[in-house]
Amino acid sequence: QVQLVQSGAEVKKSGSSVKVSCRASGGTFSIFEVTWVRQAPGHGLEWMGEIIPVFGTPKYAQKFQDRLKITTDELTSTVYLELSNLTSEDTAIYYCARCFGSQSRTNWFLPWGQGTLVTVSS
Amino acid sequence: SSELTQDPTVSVALGQTVRITCQGKSLTRSFASWYQQKPGQAPILVFYGENKRPSGIPERFSGSASGDTSSLTITGTQAEDEAEYHCSSRDTTYTRWLFGGGTRLTVL
């Protein structure tokens, strides 16, 4: 059974960058499709981007296109999210999730990581 | 505003049936997936596709779809079902993931 374990909470200054990791255990990592979703305090879920390690080419939501980088390390079965030029509006819980069926009518996320709180202060 | 629309709050009496809806153009090409999220916890998948329930999810959770609207129905709602429910789907071009704004379910 696949599990996703994320790195711990981060506190960052405005203008800096943060890198969050998501390590997978179980399953064949290279064919996973992994997505990143964030949730600001009191708000809903927001899709940020995704990657399939074997292809290596990430896709980003337009909102984050110029400051988001999603990468993978197949040796450690880890996906990374790096967000730069942070502002207080980036304060949120960041989740990774494995996604299925992204090119079909039936699609879903399972499992989710436990979440990583990123706090941005001025 | 979100491309998937959910009612912000819904309430239901203990033991009764409740329907949570999700509306959007993308749902004419994708089934919605539904996630339950309790305070301080990550979302968990409770229903997806035309009629799929993940292992371990009670049978009282079911889903349906009609046109641009998908619904999650909880039959015989329990106190532990009180949570935020999020819908999601792929967009119409299958290039982005969409989420609804979430529905907070209160069990009275």
Q: What is the DSSP string of chain B?
A: --SBB--SEEEE-TTS-EEEEEE-GGGGTS--EEEEE-TTS--EEEEBTTTB--TT--TTEEEEEETTEEEEEESS--GGG-EEEEEEEE-TTSSSEEEB--EEEEE-
| Cα-to-chain-centroid distance, residue B47 | 7
Average pLDDT over residues B1-5: 85
Mean pLDDT of chain B: 96
What local confidence, expressed as pLDDT, does residue B80 receive?
A: 98
How far apart are alpha carbons B7 and B20 in whole angstroms? Answer: 8
Beta carbons of A108 and B33 less than 8 Å apart: yes
Instruction: Lowest mean pLDDT of A36-40, A112-116, B85-89, B93-97, name the range.
Output: B93-97
More confident residue, A15 or A30: A15
Average pLDDT over residues B58-68: 97
How far apart are alpha carbons B3 and A105 in whole angstroms? Answer: 17
Average pLDDT over residues A15-22: 98
Q: Is the predicted pLDDT of residue B88 greater than 90, yes or no?
A: yes
Whether the CB of A64 is below 8 Å from some CB of chain B: the reply is: no
Average pLDDT over residues B19-28: 97
Strand-pair category, B103-107 with B9-12: parallel
- Rounded to the nearest 5 degrees, what angle is found at the Cα of A56, between the Cα atoms of A53 and A60? 100
More confident residue, B32 or A105: B32
- Rounded to the nearest 5 degrees, what angle is found at the Cα of A89, between the Cα atoms of A48 and B99? 35
Residue of A nearest to B93 (CA): A103
pLDDT band at A32 (very low <50, low <70, confident <90, very high): confident
pLDDT band at A19 (very low <50, low <70, confident <90, very high): very high
Beta carbons of A114 and B42 less than 8 Å apart: yes
Beta carbons of A44 and B48 less than 8 Å apart: no
Q: Is the predicted pLDDT of residue A29 greater than 80, yes or no?
A: no
What local confidence, expressed as pLDDT, does residue A53 receive?
A: 75
Q: Which two tokens stand for residue A30?
A: 């290279």
More confident residue, A101 or A7: A7
Mean pLDDT of chain A: 93
What local confidence, expressed as pLDDT, does residue A74 receive?
A: 86
Q: Which chain B residues touch A102 with a CB distance below 8 Å?
A: 90, 94, 97
Summarised one tens digit per residue, pLDDT across range A60-81 is 999 999 999 999 998 899 999 9
From A115, A109, A102, select the one nearest A39 (Cα to Cα): A115
What local confidence, expressed as pLDDT, does residue B1 receive?
A: 64
Q: Is the predicted pLDDT of residue A56 greater than 80, yes or no?
A: no
For A105, the closest of B29, B54, B99 (CB atoms) is B29
